[in-house]
Structure 1
């Protein structure tokens, strides 16, 4: 008897649970972390798994940096998705011509007033991937053998942040030179995160055309190839040039000293110095046409 009573209680509880469960709105998603490439179409799946209310209220919100904003409210699309999104019945959201600004968290909310549990929500994290643009590359034009060299590559548009690869004469340069027989003796380090390729001591074999590739899940882009010339450093020629310059400077200095000692550089003083005119005595003399001599123009006081 006790066993039968216990079974009846269990059946009643299960029946009540099932009834309550049926009268509760439930949601599910086919993909909680969807992704798409920029300018493509993506669907944010929000499936109503169970509901009793014939006319539920459906809303979508976009949450970016902790701030929610309406995407679908009172039967219409709003915000920056107004002309690029639509609701696929009963509750999924379709975004067309996806933009990098659409990367955010989205919340599907369904309110069913006739259900015992009248509210349900689910979160979807959308990532819009952006293909990198042409990276900026800096390649040394000429480097002497045995000297260091640094190559730079950067790109700021791609999302997720791209990784970088370097190529020499169209052949990919491995991150670790010891993994390739062609680069085993090279002395370089490469960081795929920053795009910096550094040679500790350039070899003659390192000369050639270099370009960089920026790559992420959305695609890749490359800069134009740039040539680096590696030349031998002529130490003997440099020393000889320095000696010649020093010799010329010494000869010029000796010539100047010799000329100075012989007096060629002394400034000669003129014997006849310029004398200033005497001070006027206050009398002006004017020659007339009739007179061949001077006469007073004006009187003066003694």
Structure 2
């Protein structure tokens, strides 16, 4: 027991001696994350306690989101009584108190950019002081309103199918949440058939019917504002398409039959109006009877002689006498 009391007493005396000699470095920064609107100025508080000497040095560095602390790159240095800005933020970074030798090492950023979001390191070095807590970390978020989101759809947009509506903003900090609403006074689909994810911005529609057709709006929102986009969903019925196709086929068939019947009737009318062929007075018919021969006289061709054979009966031939007077 006496031994433990002696060790405790020695530790207390050592701690008191270290504090009295100023051989400890302690950096204090806010425990909670900081935020600032885009385009505004930001102050990153940092204070320290140490016995500032000729070897005092201050360094601010920056770590992009998702990167390890080893990937940090410097913003500015203070050493030998001078400030040395560096890096892409050099023109916008400065110290609130210059020189920072009175325990205040606050960093000031003007015109905050979205790329300024990340972790900032405030580090104080003062050799030969012992480094008990010479490093402070500050998380900064630059607030950006959501950009106009892009609406899209995918899936089978027919009766009985499923479709997915997607909404996404390329910018926005903190990350926007998404909410889908249906416009108009059409009947709202049942809740079980509409499932939306506010983080991903996706709306799933299942067991589609014609009542799902309409305009849908997606609203992206964060603490800086909101933006929206719209799209139109048209649900089709394949069965109606087949009925319409069959009806069109029937109508085309009836039309073709009507045209054919009209052409046939027109042809018949034109044929009836066409004049019949007649023989003129000067035309010689092949079956005409020579003058002076009775119509009852028959001429039969003789196939052996090539001449017309006269009938043997004289009574069947009548000779026509001239009725003109004779002149003596």
TM-score (norm 2): 0.58
SS of aligned partner of 1:80: coil
Query: Which residue pairs with 2:51 in the alignment?
Result: 52
Confirm or deny that 1:91 pairs with 2:97: no
Whether the aligned pair in 1 keeps the contact of 2:179 and 2:198 (CA below 8 Å) is: yes
Whether the aligned pair in 2 keeps the contact of 1:53 and 1:115 (CA below 8 Å) is: no
Distance 2:162 2:195 in 1: 11
Query: Which residue pairs with 1:241 in the alignment?
Result: 248
Confirm or deny that 1:14 pairs with 2:12: yes
Tell me how far 1:86 sits from its aligned partner.
1.9
Describe how 1:210-249 pairs up with structure 2 within 5 A: 210-223=216-229, 225-228=230-233, 234=240, 236-245=243-252
Distance 2:24 2:191 in 1: 69
Q: Over aligned residues, Cα RMSD in angstroms?
A: 4.0
Query: Which residue pairs with 1:258 in the alignment?
Result: none
TM-score (norm 1): 0.62
**Distance of aligned partners of 1:104 and 1:251 in 2 relative to their CA distance in 1, 3 Å threshold:** same
Describe how 1:283-298 pairs up with structure 2 within 5 A: none
Distance 1:154 1:13 in 2: 59
Distance 1:152 1:192 in 2: 11
Confirm or deny that 1:135 pairs with 2:149: yes
Query: Which residue pairs with 2:200 in the alignment?
Result: 194
Larger Rg: 2
Distance 2:113 2:225 in 1: 16
Describe how 1:124-163 pairs up with structure 2 within 5 A: 124-138=138-152, 148-163=162-177
Q: Identify unmatched segments of 5+ residues in structure 1.
A: 172-180, 253-302
Confirm or deny that 1:70 pairs with 2:68: no
What does the per-residue CA deviation read over 1:166-194, in whole Å, with 9 as the maximum and x for residues that have no partner?
121289xxxxxxxxx95536623333343
Whether the aligned pair in 2 keeps the contact of 1:132 and 1:162 (CA below 8 Å) is: yes
**Distance of aligned partners of 1:184 and 1:118 in 2 relative to their CA distance in 1, 3 Å threshold:** closer
Whether the aligned pair in 2 keeps the contact of 1:29 and 1:46 (CA below 8 Å) is: yes
Q: Identify unmatched segments of 5+ residues in structure 2.
A: 98-103, 260-328
SS of aligned partner of 1:25: strand
Tell me how far 1:123 sits from its aligned partner.
2.3
Counting matched residue pairs gives 240
